[in-house]
Structure 1
């Protein structure tokens, strides 16, 4: 097999990269070790920055997003007795959209299989080779058990934290940074109309809670729990009672409904540098992971592949190396800014430590709710900073 860009991983990063390259006349093949059904069922993030929405729309995969996505003009910050609204257009002139990563993936797969570049599911034993030269390759076993070799000019590793690409980059020397947080999120999907117009980020002495949504009839809610908790110990009634407690506000209540999915998500930050080795480039979760509090994971992946697509077009069509040579540094500048914002939101809203720490958190929340400058800083980061910092 022969292509210009071999892409390992059919998450949003890999699929969008393939789409952006195809629009510029560059061939690619996408390899994925899971089935299409599994990939399309993964429940992930749901907040899209304006840049992400614009990129998907320009790539021709934004029609359903525009019809079914929910544009949001702000968020509510809450602590006991107080709910304060941050108006994003007023603060920074931008909005965000609620549209699940699952739906983004479905849209990208549909476009890929409708006359787009090859997308191979259920491959195994994937391994990038000879990435330090000009003719790298990817060895893999296809869904029928037949060993294959994909010859290419460039390999893109968009295969997540556990994929093979990051390990190949790290073999040449690199640096890892990691922070594991002492709490996790218990998340549910519920067939219940959201009881709020905007997302609610709630600080409470018993722990953080988040009220989000996926549609006018489906709510997505989260509770801070200890990482050692077992989902089997959390009945639906216990979850709803905890949400009622942590989001309590006079004259308002959480809408309950049938819980259709629930899971516990550990919280951590991770950055791997550099994001390149020779002709192998990392993007998305293969290079970085952030806690979901700042809604940055999917958006960072889109920013990565937007930069990478531009760099690869310049390399493969114009034979210029300036953008690929600077890709890692440019991408990491934004990665670290978003990692800091995600850490800051997480640290401000999740209970840990003693009552002294709790008072510091409340002081920070009151500052954001009372200072236009502090509120603008949150709004600018939340809605998405420029691609190039």
Structure 2
């Protein structure tokens, strides 16, 4: 048992060393030092926008450095703990060491996946849009289930979310929804979710309790930043205002605060009704429009940005199946990663699918 433990510990140390090499700890420490100098500048907050960017980046980089250094320290401490446990014949300490080894393996694997996120926009926040596709009322209900799944995933990780817009279906569910998730590397993480999600179940809306297959499409975009320079001339947009509405068409306020923006050259339409004022809704809708225009721009300019494309039909772009009847299973079509507990997945337990998707994307890119 001791020899096996030491072998596993050595392998884990080697994996962490590879992660440290990819992260380039010396360069990371230098960047943290430079950002700390900028953050200490007494004139930093003369430009609040720039100050926010610097302090936010500093916080993210410090967290990265702290995470990897703490893992290395825990690995070193574990070697000492195990050696003492064996020398003293302490079964309780040996069990504690075994548990710590498993915990460390899981955390180092997750950090390794993070190092695979090296795309141009991977560090950014994510703007996610979910649309009901084929399947009628079941598809609308399915789109709402997916919305909850992603919001629960973000909640589990402590990631802030902001719902920009929800278009409710007449009978049940939603036609579409757009929301933002804010966290380091969340775009790179969630971008592997883009595609058509397929649900098979006994329809709760069918009085004959027949099995129904329904589809919803997930689009994931990076949040635009000022450096992207996505110009949207006023002459190219039409802005409509209307009253926000909730389920069943009920008005949720008495003023025309909701905003719909149509980009005339492309026909792209975005809307936002979540904020209290028309001005806030317009600003949020413009950010979503800019994200979509950035997507289009990069698709045209660079072939490697094809992963950002809004793709295909219900049948042609399937990436995951969720089967609730006649058996219970969720399976990713690309990675073949699967689990037999759809309830947990639909409650936001999707990290296994995300990690498998990121590894799969990296492997296919290297082929």
What range describes the TM-score normalised by the shorter chain of this pair? under 0.3
The one of the two structures with greater contact order (alpha-carbon pairs below 8 A, sep at least 6) is 1
Greater strand share, structure number: 1
- Greater helix share, 1 or 2? 2
TM-score normalised by L of structure 1: 0.21
State the TM-score, normalized to the length of structure 2: 0.22
> Rg: which structure is higher?
2
